Structure 1
């Protein structure tokens, strides 16, 4: 959907060249619509060599096992977002340690996904019954028998195979992602 009216003054929007790019801008005031973006976050919580996963109860990915995560709220700090999402989806309390991966998916709604390594604090996994219908800590061996989402497989590899000294482009991830940009902190 394209914005037709200005979010500040209500006047019509029009395409204008701004910073060398055609953008929607107000015909009356200085408002510019810079694009549509979403920021997702994901948790990599490891306890005793096992990774916290939840089984999705809704689309997209219904039935797949994934790491807990979600989207940031407008006025919520990103660290609070991921801690809240882990608690909501799995009943587990965890604290952010560091950023371990970033996915960049340019499309109509440009999606950026930030994965965090998290320290387990307390709680036994229990699904929320809405977004997730299963939750638990699983070993790599157990995951081989489960329907784990491809992207989550990549993140689990990062969670269990150490950290580097900063994010680097992952030109050869363990799974194919159709050319989208990925960065991680894994020593390979």
Structure 2
């Protein structure tokens, strides 16, 4: 399995060919006689919703430097989406939450970046069920609370499709 397109087998290093498998053209290793599956990367995020709005981070890393998003990121090995969501919230925004307090919100497929495909699982939590003072972590340049009415007043723009997750969280808990 690979995240990016590959020309060589990750198992044995042989040059890959193409073969129709299950109705789709896929990379195939003629030496190992195995399909080299290409799969999206799982991510998770959590929207904190309080009386002042939804907590967002301004991205300091690609894709979308300078755009605003719900805190989130890649799952680590042996980590559930709930665990990843609370870890990313802590790392990106300095806020802690208990995975048991999160509500499943949505899923989305992000626009591919550098040919990497991402599927994200979104959660929401009430601000009263979190601890810590929001503070931008190393992958964010700022954090802020926004309502649908206030977002964009300072020229902010969403990293797509985080605007949908923001609205879903506000509609559900705001």
Query: Normalising by the residue count of structure 2, what TM-score does the alignment of the two structures yield?
Result: 0.78
Which residue matches 1:111?
118
Note the C-alpha offset of 1:100: 1.2
Give unpaired runs (5+ residues) of structure 2: none
Note the C-alpha offset of 1:60: 2.5
Q: Structure 1 residues 87, 22: closer, same or farther in 2, change over 3 A?
A: same
Matched, 1:90 2:93: yes
Which residue matches 1:186?
none
Matched, 1:161 2:161: no
Q: Structure 1, residues 9-57: CA drift from partner, whole Å, max 9, x if none?
A: 2333211222222211111224311114222222111123521111222
Which residue matches 2:145?
137
Q: Structure 1 residues 2, 100: closer, same or farther in 2, change over 3 A?
A: closer
Matches within 5 A, 1:28-67: 28-48=31-51, 50-67=53-70
Using CA pairs under 8 Å that are at least 6 residues apart, name the structure with larger relative contact order, 1 or 2: 2
Query: Normalising by the residue count of structure 1, what TM-score does the alignment of the two structures yield?
Result: 0.73
Give unpaired runs (5+ residues) of structure 1: 164-188
CA distance in 2, matches of 1:109, 1:66: 18
Q: Structure 1 residues 29, 78: closer, same or farther in 2, change over 3 A?
A: same
Which residue matches 2:161?
151
Query: Quick check: which one's strand share is greater?
Result: 1
CA RMSD between the two structures = 2.4
The count of aligned residue pairs is 162
